[in-house]
Amino acid sequence: ALTGLASLHWDPDARGLIIGITRGTRREHLVRATLEAIAYQTHDVVRAMEDETGCRLPELRVGGGAAKNDFLCQFQSDILGIPVVRPRHMETTAQGAAFAAGIAVGLWDDADTVSALWQEDRRFEPTMPLAVRKALLGDWSRAVELAKGWCTGRAVGASEDG
């Protein structure tokens, strides 16, 4: 939230927060917190999409550089409570564009044909107990509320005089 919160929260006055640090906090803790934040934000977007469509996502297929991180993929699976599937070919955006172009010029017949070309590298299954997931998501929701309105004094718990 260094430039505000976007999708779902829409607050340009929100700011990034690092909550719960102590003198014992190390670089590794900050890296982990960053990876967890990616998973939490993805959770929020996936749940909003499911709520809007009435369809439950059976698995999340990931790609790109961040998907190379095993911790992120496992934590994402745990937070969503569904499998996260990583492809063999990580640059899925470029691959998707190539598939679309190939269909357009007649190299492949349709999306079903190119879908069969997608190959799984690794599947991450959720292992986190439901009670832990709910507690972590509750902490995330509280952190998001704290970030909202940060630079205008509208943050949760802010005093009237800023």
pLDDT in tens, 9-36: 777 888 888 888 999 999 999 999 999 9
CB 137 within 8 A of CB 43: yes
Distance between CA atoms of residues 154 and 84, nearest Å: 37
Supply the pLDDT for residue 47: 95
- In angstroms, the Cα distances linking 134 to 37, 45, 87, 150, 161 are 15, 17, 28, 25, 35
Supply the pLDDT for residue 77: 99
Supply the pLDDT for residue 4: 56
The yes-or-no verdict on residue 3 having pLDDT over 50 is yes
pTM confidence score: 0.82
Structural domains of the chain, with CATH = 34-140 (3.30.420.40)
What average pLDDT does the segment 60-79 reach?
A: 96
Distance between CA atoms of residues 39 and 42, nearest Å: 5
